[in-house]
């Protein structure tokens, strides 16, 4: 049976036990929940009528009575009277966000909880000038300020947007970016030339989970929603002794997805089935030095069946695809306070098995006499080993008359990727091996010129050596020595506000194309560089109840790497779709980011964020000889905006968020665009010291959104393969309930 109702209500029953709620009623609810037939939507059959009816009529009034009694017998819950300080873990020195000299958005654990979300995908529309590309079940590729990859098939890629999860590099493999027990999401916009090098041309997405603490803590959470969506998680923070603490999290998320397959008569061919297990161990060596061990196992086994010949949520695939990722990672971070300096060490070992496949014809053989049948499957095994050593000055080791603090670091990485492609029209399976070795040396100086003015200079030199072989007898061994860095001025306006100006250079390594029957002159492409100027302001006002951040940027892209594609006719009359990367001369990206948080009073809080973006190709002639100079770049919406309004009393809470995004081109080779949208999300609930119950809904008005689009080919034999646009849809309206219990 579909056991989410039983599991969810069992959790309520367990929570009810210490509250001394009548056992008979809890058992009655459980008994009814086990008789409810599986339903795709809450409103389809008897879930509301039976289980929820008893829950809301009998259980919730008792919980309400308990909460009122608790409020009378206990001290009133202390609600914050100022905005909390936010530390940025992606910064060299873990600075406060308000002192970080870059445009950055930090999504806190509270904001994640307020949206009742399970994955990074579900918060991306709320982050200014951050976009993403689907063509999969979960997004793996992101664009910051209009810069970033959209997909990967045969060819190796170098990510423009880095993705770190607890300092482990998952760039290009972010399907596992679940949000269970995540403390905060940090999005750093602009080149990370000094800190992250070749994987930070456009910026960085950094997910940080909670570290172990010396205080015992436990949390259980269950969530049920439409489309047979269920999420279950448990967290245990356990102090082992006065020096060692551990924190373990396990979670399971599953959903049928938002598509029906009309040919197979199934509603779960685009399903989600995601497991996560993470354990952290913190060892306090002394009062100033510590070790942090992180062990992660993630198993993503999702379906992929998201394109319909009719551009509706009913597909016709006879061989639906898949989007899988099984990752294991071990990381260790060391922080050592020495006599005159600080030593930081970060080491990671990861292994990922990534599977991606789709039904190429999106239909079945009998749909039309002219139809074809094909699948395309990709299996990657990616192993990564990295080590970073960093020396940081302290107050006793500053240089230049004690005016300058310094950082020097060494970064080593070895990555090996094995690919096997199984394609219907290929005579044999395609196999390749790609190895990359990187060595980087970086440093940064921060010089205080006066009590208000400081200058920051950073430089990184990185050498990359790649080796590629495949069973088609192709071999590549490119080498690159690249450099990046930044020069910044920071002006402290007063104790609560500062402004900055920076010039940064980022870089992205060159590479090669291997797919299809490309001509020799299209095989290799060169490195790309990004030069960006940014002017920013950050400040807090009204006793830290109002926080403002803004940034204006202007970027020039040189030897811009642009994905293009070709269609070539096969002997049997079908077409081969070939994607490749090439350098598109020049591009310009410029815009503004604004963010504000206001704690209106002890019960009301609001937030606003917005991003404006203008992009264009300064020079670009595509593979058809068309001059696209002046055209917008792909995946670059002209505006993004988000607004939140939250209310919290001693026991009750409610909130609403509104996310908006402009339309944009899906690709640089055709004119198919997304559609603009406004998404409204809401929640209401009850919270006490022991539990939290939330009723929520995302996309309240059921807006239709597009997350991926094609427009350069036709795939429908009923229309004689005429070229037309095809779209993948975003999340429709979905309502659910989440119960959290704190023993």
What would the DSSP string read from start to end of 181-199?
A: TEEEEEEEES--TTTTGGG
Q: pLDDT band at residue 548, thresholds of 50, 70 and 90?
A: very high
Core vs surface per residue 12-47: b (16+ CB within 10 A) or e: bbebbeebebeeebbeebbebbeebeebbebeeeeb
Beta bridge partners of 209: 182
168 three-state secondary structure: strand
CB 468 within 8 A of CB 512: yes
The whole-chain average pLDDT of the chain stands at 88
Residues 311 and 241: their CA atoms lie apart, in Å, by: 59
φ/ψ of 655, rounded to 5, equals: -165, 160
CA dihedral 714, 715, 718, 721 (to 10 degrees): 30
> What mean pLDDT is predicted for residues 416-444?
95
Say what the pLDDT of residue 26 is.
37
CA dihedral 89, 94, 100, 104 (to 10 degrees): 10
CB 672 within 8 A of CB 725: yes
Q: Residue 279: which H helix or E strand, with range?
A: strand 272-284
Say what the pLDDT of residue 575 is.
66
pLDDT digits (tens, 9 = 90+) for 169-181: 999 999 999 999 9
Note the helical H segments in 49-158.
53-54, 60-73, 109-115
Residues 412 and 442: their CA atoms lie apart, in Å, by: 12
Long-range contacts of 245-248, Cβ-Cβ distance < 8 Å, separation of 24 or more: 245/212, 245/213, 245/214, 245/281, 245/282, 246/212, 246/279, 246/280, 246/281, 246/282, 247/181, 247/210, 247/211, 247/212, 247/213, 247/279, 247/280, 247/282, 248/277, 248/278, 248/279, 248/280
Pairing of strands 430-448, 404-423: antiparallel
> What mean pLDDT is predicted for residues 213-224?
96
**The tokens of 266 are what?**
């199934």
Say what the pLDDT of residue 517 is.
66
Say what the pLDDT of residue 227 is.
96
pLDDT digits (tens, 9 = 90+) for 59-103: 445 445 554 454 444 444 445 678 888 889 888 888 888 889 999
**The tokens of 529 are what?**
């560089």
Core vs surface per residue 169-188: b (16+ CB within 10 A) or e: bbbbbbbbbbbbbbbbbbbb
Q: Quick one: which of 295, 357, 358, 355 has its CA closest to 325?
A: 355
Residues 689 and 676: their CA atoms lie apart, in Å, by: 41
pLDDT at 513 over 90: no
Placement of tokens 């100006």 in the chain: 501
Higher pLDDT, 645 or 152: 645
Give how far Cα 80 sits from Cα of 68, 83, 122, 650, 659, Å: 21, 7, 27, 12, 26
φ/ψ of 272, rounded to 5, equals: -125, 130
pLDDT at 653 over 80: yes
Q: pLDDT band at residue 361, thresholds of 50, 70 and 90?
A: very high
Residues 158 and 136: their CA atoms lie apart, in Å, by: 19
Strand runs labelled E in 190-271: 203-209, 217-225, 229-239, 244-255, 260-261
Say what the pLDDT of residue 59 is.
46
Question: Would you report the helix, strand and coil content of the chain in percent, each value rounded to 5?
Answer: 10, 50, 35
CB 656 within 8 A of CB 681: yes
Q: Quick one: which of 355, 328, 325 has its CA closest to 168?
A: 328
Other CB atoms within 10 Å distance of the CB of residue 312: 12
Residues 741 and 736: their CA atoms lie apart, in Å, by: 17
> What mean pLDDT is predicted for residues 255-283?
97
Start-to-end CA span in the chain (Å): 28
568 burial (CB, 10 Å; 0-12 / 13-18 / 19+) is: exposed
pLDDT digits (tens, 9 = 90+) for 701-732: 999 999 999 998 999 999 999 999 999 999 99
Q: pLDDT band at residue 360, thresholds of 50, 70 and 90?
A: very high
φ/ψ of 197, rounded to 5, equals: 65, -130
Say what the pLDDT of residue 61 is.
53
> What mean pLDDT is predicted for residues 132-161?
92
CB 142 within 8 A of CB 161: yes
CB 725 within 8 A of CB 673: no
pLDDT digits (tens, 9 = 90+) for 185-206: 999 999 998 888 888 899 999 9
CB 208 within 8 A of CB 166: yes
> What mean pLDDT is predicted for residues 569-579?
68
Say what the pLDDT of residue 38 is.
40
pLDDT at 25 over 50: no
> What mean pLDDT is predicted for residues 442-448?
96
pLDDT at 33 over 70: no
pLDDT at 5 over 80: no
571 burial (CB, 10 Å; 0-12 / 13-18 / 19+) is: exposed
Beta bridge partners of 454: 448, 490
Q: pLDDT band at residue 566, thresholds of 50, 70 and 90?
A: low
Q: pLDDT band at residue 516, thresholds of 50, 70 and 90?
A: low
Residues 667 and 236: their CA atoms lie apart, in Å, by: 45
CA dihedral 334, 338, 340, 341 (to 10 degrees): 0
In the chain, the domains with their CATH numbers are 1-74 (no CATH), 207-741 (2.40.170.20)
**The tokens of 605 are what?**
């809080």
Q: pLDDT band at residue 42, thresholds of 50, 70 and 90?
A: very low
Core vs surface per residue 84-94: b (16+ CB within 10 A) or e: eebbbbbbbee
Distance of CA 608 to the CA centre of its chain: 20
Pairing of strands 182-189, 168-169: unpaired
Distance of CA 454 to the CA centre of its chain: 33
Give how far Cα 325 sits from Cα of 353, 357, 463, Å: 6, 12, 29
> What mean pLDDT is predicted for residues 679-688?
96
């Amino acid at each position: 049976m579909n056991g989410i109702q039983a599991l969810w209500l069992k959790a309520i029953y367990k929570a009810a036990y210490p509250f001394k709620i009548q056992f008979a009623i809890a058992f009655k609810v459980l008994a009814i929940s086990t008789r409810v037939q599986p339903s795709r939507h809450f409103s389809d059959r008897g879930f509301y009528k039976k289980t929820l009816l008893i829950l809301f009529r009998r259980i919730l009034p008792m919980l309400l009575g308990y909460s009122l009694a608790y409020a009378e017998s206990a001290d009133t819950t202390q609600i914050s009277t100022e905005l909390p300080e936010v530390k940025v873990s992606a910064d060299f020195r873990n600075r406060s966000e308000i002192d970080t000299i870059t445009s950055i958005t930090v999504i806190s654990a509270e904001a994640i909880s307020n949206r009742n979300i399970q994955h990074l995908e579900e918060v991306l529309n709320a982050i200014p000038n951050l976009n993403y590309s689907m063509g999969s079940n979960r997004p793996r590729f992101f664009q910051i300020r209009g810069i970033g990859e959209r997909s990967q098939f045969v060819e190796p890629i170098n990510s423009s947007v880095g993705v770190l999860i607890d300092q482990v590099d998952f760039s290009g493999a972010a399907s596992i970016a679940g949000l269970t027990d995540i403390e905060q999401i940090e999005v750093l916009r602009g080149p990370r030339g000094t800190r992250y090098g070749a994987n930070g041309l456009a910026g960085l997405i950094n997910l940080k989970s909670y570290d172990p603490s010396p205080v015992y803590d436990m949390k259980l959470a269950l969530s049920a929603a439409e489309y047979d969506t269920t999420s279950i998680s448990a967290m245990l923070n356990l102090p082992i002794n006065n020096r060692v603490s551990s924190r373990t999290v396990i979670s399971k998320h599953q959903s049928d997805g938002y598509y029906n397959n009309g040919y197979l008569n199934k509603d779960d061919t685009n399903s989600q089935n995601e497991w996560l297990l993470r354990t952290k161990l913190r060892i306090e060596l002394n009062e100033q030095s510590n070790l942090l061990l992180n062990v992660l196992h993630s198993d993503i086994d999702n379906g992929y069946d998201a394109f319909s010949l009719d551009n509706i949520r009913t597909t016709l695939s006879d061989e639906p695809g898949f989007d899988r990722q099984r990752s294991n990672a071990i990381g260790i971070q060391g922080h050592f306070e020495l006599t005159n300096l600080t030593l930081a060490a970060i080491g990671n070992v990861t292994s990922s098995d990534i599977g991606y496949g789709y039904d190429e014809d999106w239909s079945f053989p009998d749909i039309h006499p002219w139809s074809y049948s094909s699948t395309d499957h990709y299996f990657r095994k990616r192993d990564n080993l990295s080590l970073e050593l960093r020396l940081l000055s302290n107050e006793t080791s500053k240089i230049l008359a004690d005016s300058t603090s310094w950082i020097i670091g060494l970064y080593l990485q070895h990555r090996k990727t094995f690919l096997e492609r199984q394609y219907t029209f290929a005579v044999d399976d395609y196999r390749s091996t790609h190895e990359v070795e990187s060595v980087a040396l970086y440093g940064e100086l921060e010089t205080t010129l006066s009590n208000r003015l400081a200058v920051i200079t950073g430089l990184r030199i990185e050498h990359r050596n790649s080796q590629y072989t495949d069973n088609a007898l192709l071999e590549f061994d490119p080498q690159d020595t690249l450099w990046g860095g930044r020069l910044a001025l920071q002006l402290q306006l007063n104790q609560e506000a500062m402004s900055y100006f920076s010039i940064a250079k980022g870089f992205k390594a060159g590479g090669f194309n291997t797919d299809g029957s490309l001509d020799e002159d299209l095989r290799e492409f060169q490195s790309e560089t990004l030069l960006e100027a940014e002017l920013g302001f950050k400040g807090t006002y009204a006793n830290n109840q109002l926080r403002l951040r803004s940034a204006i940027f202007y970027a020039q892209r040189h030897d811009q790497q642009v994905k293009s594609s070709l269609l070539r006719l096969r002997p049997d009359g079908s077409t081969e779709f070939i994607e490749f990367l090439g350098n598109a001369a020049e591009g310009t990206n410029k815009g503004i980011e604004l963010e504000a948080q206001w704690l209106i009073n002890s019960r009301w809080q609001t937030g606003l964020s917005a991003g404006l973006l203008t992009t264009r190709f300064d020079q670009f002639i595509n593979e058809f000889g068309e001059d696209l100079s002046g055209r917008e770049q792909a995946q670059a919406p002209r505006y993004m905006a988000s607004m939140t309004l939250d209310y919290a009393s001693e026991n009750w809470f409610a909130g609403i968020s509104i996310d908006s995004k402009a339309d944009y081109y899906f690709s640089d080779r055709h004119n198919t665009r997304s559609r603009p949208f406004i998404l409204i999300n809401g929640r209401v609930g009850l919270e006490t010291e022991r539990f939290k119950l939330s009723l929520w809904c995302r996309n309240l008005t059921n807006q239709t959104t597009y997350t991926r689009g094609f427009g350069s080919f036709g795939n429908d034999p009923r229309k004689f393969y005429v070229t037309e646009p095809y779209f993948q849809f975003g999340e429709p309206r979905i309502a659910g309930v989440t119960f959290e219990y704190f023993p």
